[in-house]
């Protein structure tokens, strides 16, 4: 698992270990990773380091990528270079199953793929909110799109998972999978983690792009804008 020390990654690690899986958590600073256990291997690697990535992937049955970086003006290459090293390592070691997280905002930011419908949402979101966010995060979404193209070009058994706006809860709730244009504004991180574990074990959407969104107990738009975009305040549950 790449991006294991993210909030989603820590949820996913706990869920995978609880289900009896052996997990390799790939992180840059192992000493900062808060989880441990007999079936957990914490591996130090930077995704820019091709050799370290290849060592991390060796012996795995599947790979999950939750790579991400904050919005910034500088060009972003972490996702595209990281996924290149990951997919190359998978090919070298015969690992076929890949699940990678991108974003539902790519349905607004990028030209639609063949057969993909326009993102359906209320006017204020489609015309005001999404253009604002995709402008603010342009360099991130550009690299995320490059990452998707790299994954799609491989011969791996891949799934690209596009969550909606992320927020924190501490209980897995009712969530839904759907095509990229499915309506649904929010995805809790713990639901996203659960969906990734489902995908990597059940192989439900191989060589497909799917959205995942939470349908119960969702926050207000104001909460997500303040706490996730503007970083004002914090969620009651981390």
**Which CATH number goes with the domain that contains 64?**
3.40.50.720
Query: What is residue 93's predicted lDDT score, i.e. its pLDDT?
Result: 98
d(CA 207, CA 153): 10
Task: Confirm whether 238 is domain-assigned.
Answer: no
Residue 237 is assigned to a structural domain of this protein: no
* pLDDT on residue 237: 38
Whether 166 is covered by a domain: the verdict is yes
Q: How far is CA 221 from each of CA 76, 106, 196, rounded to the nearest angstrom?
A: 27, 19, 25
What pLDDT does 221 receive? 65
Name the band, by pLDDT with cuts 50, 70 and 90, for residue 131. Answer: low
pTM: 0.86
Instruction: Look at residue 183 and tell me if it is in a domain.
Output: yes
Query: Looking at the domain assignment, is residue 236 inside a domain?
Result: no
CA distance 103 to 161: 7
- Indicate whether 14 belongs to any domain: yes
Min mean pLDDT across 1-15, 20-34, 179-193 is at: 179-193
% the chain with pLDDT above 70 = 81
Helix (H) or strand (E) holding 8: helix 7-18
The string of pLDDT tens digits covering residues 75-91 is: 999 999 999 999 999 99
In a domain, 18, yes or no: yes
235 is a domain residue:
no
CA distance 101 to 210: 10
Domain span at residue 61 reads 7-229
- Count: domains in the chain: 1
């Amino acid at each position: 698992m790449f991006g294991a020390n993210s909030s989603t990654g820590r949820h996913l690690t706990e869920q995978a270990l609880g289900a009896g899986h052996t997990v390799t958590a790939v992180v840059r600073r192992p000493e900062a990773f808060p989880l441990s256990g007999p079936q957990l291997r914490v591996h130090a690697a930077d995704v820019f380091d091709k050799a370290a990535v290849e060592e991390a992937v060796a012996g795995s049955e599947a790979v999950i990528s939750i790579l991400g970086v904050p919005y910034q003006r500088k060009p972003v290459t972490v996702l595209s270079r990281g996924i290149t090293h990951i997919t190359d390592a998978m090919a070298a070691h015969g690992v076929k199953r890949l699940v990678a997280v991108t974003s539902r905002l790519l349905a607004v930011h990028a030209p639609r793929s063949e057969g993909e419908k326009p993102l359906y949402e209320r006017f204020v979101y489609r015309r005001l909110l999404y253009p604002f966010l995709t402008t603010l995060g342009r360099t991130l979404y550009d690299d995320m799109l490059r990452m998707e193209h790299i994954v799609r070009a491989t011969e791996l058994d891949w799934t690209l998972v596009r969550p909606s706006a992320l927020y924190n809860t501490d209980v897995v709730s009712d969530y839904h999978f759907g095509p990229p244009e499915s309506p649904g504004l929010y995805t809790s991180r713990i639901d996203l983690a659960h969906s990734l574990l489902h995908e990597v074990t059940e192989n439900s959407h191989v060589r497909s792009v799917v959205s995942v969104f939470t349908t119960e107990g969702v926050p207000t738009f104001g909460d997500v804008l303040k706490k996730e975009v503007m970083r004002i305040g914090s969620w009651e549950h981390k």
